[in-house]
Amino acid sequence: MTKVLVVATGNPGKLREMQAYLANSGWELTLKPEELEIEETGDTFAANAGLKASQIAQATGNWAIADDSGLQVDALNGAPGVYSARYGKNDSERIARVLNELGSEVNRQAQFVCVIAIANPHGEIFLQSEGVCRGVILHAPRGHRGFGYDPIFYVPEKQLTFAEMTPQLKRSLSHRGKAFTALLPQLALLSPES
């Protein structure tokens, strides 16, 4: 019996990224129906991930997985935070806004946070995990891989931005990678009948 997990996103890129993490999990991932739009009204990553997973599970009658993630910059009191995706019209606007708000600030410490939630077909949150990756915000973008704030998020231990890393290296270090690493052992114990 195939175990279907509906991904609470309309973004095929995010679906592919999740498939890479869950490749050997025994679950078949599928995009949520296009007409289902979930408004992210939570004030934390956990609240938004839970909201999306729960509502998609109830609407489809299947297990659902959702994540919410974003960038938190220490000197900006955690901004953009849950508003990371809405901090501008596109990636370059969002990056420009963060760099502009930081200005010549010396403290450029930041972190990417990702919370993943899985809900059963009744909409109850069954599993939740969090991953955090600390780094530094550069003064100018570097690299052409990835998306979002990747070109300005620098990981000192690797001396690379997320946008300069191979997808494999980024997966092993990133907030999303850490959240999935924490989630996988629990997911393996789940059966679709749970």
Say whether 67 is catalytic.
no
Rounded CA separation 146/124 (Å): 32
Between helices 12-21 and 175-188, what is the axis angle to 10°?
Answer: 60
Q: For tokens 């931005």, name the residue.
A: 161
Q: Which of 43, 68, 91, 150 is the catalytic position?
A: 68
**Beta carbons of 64 and 6 less than 8 angstroms apart:** yes
User: 88-95: which pairs have CB atoms within 8 A and are 24 or more residues apart?
Assistant: 91/147, 91/148, 91/149, 94/148, 94/149, 95/141, 95/149, 95/151, 95/152
Task: Tell me which amino acid residue 103 is.
Answer: G
Name the residues annotated as catalytic.
Answer: 68
